[in-house]
Amino acid sequence: MRQPTLSLTKDLTIRFSEVDSMGVVWHGAYALYLEDAREAFGLKYGLDYLGFVNRGFYVPMVDMHIRYRQPIVYGQAVTLRIDYVPTEAAKLIFDYTLTDTATGQVLCTAHTVQVFISKADRRLSWTSPDFYNAWKTKWGIHV
């Protein structure tokens, strides 16, 4: 059975506040771009941060890899794609690609992993919460 692809694209225009003195995107801004993508993904697919908290969980970042391929500069139009990566583990895994909107050239790739932490006792959940399993079933995710 083929897995559905859960993804979202978001267009960005690089702002002055996101660049360094060379006019190149400051490395710390990339984490914010990824956060914006996760938030938009969550709103589209019903996996938003307030939903986690309201169900008794936090989902902290435990791993983030960013590979800078080409500089991104002030005023540049960029397309950011986020892809959900299915896993059996009690984790949220996403892959990202930032491309130049005009040329399609890959500018950056990234990967993040988040885990479920109980809001009540702040302990790591070793199994996926029931609501997350239900979410995967709703979207046809089978691993």
Q: pTM score, two decimals?
A: 0.94
Cα–Cα distance measured from residue 77 to residue 90, given in angstroms and rounded to the nearest whole number = 35
* 47, 37 Cβ separation under 8 angstroms: no
Domain residue ranges in the chain:
7-138
φ/ψ (deg, to 5) at 73:
-120, 165
Size (the chain), residues: 143
Q: Hey, which CATH number is domain 7-138, 3.40.50.720, 3.90.1150.10, 1.10.10.10, 3.10.129.10?
A: 3.10.129.10
Residue % of the chain over a pLDDT of 90: 95
Chain segment 101-138, per-residue pLDDT in tens = 999 999 999 999 999 999 999 999 999 999 999 999 99
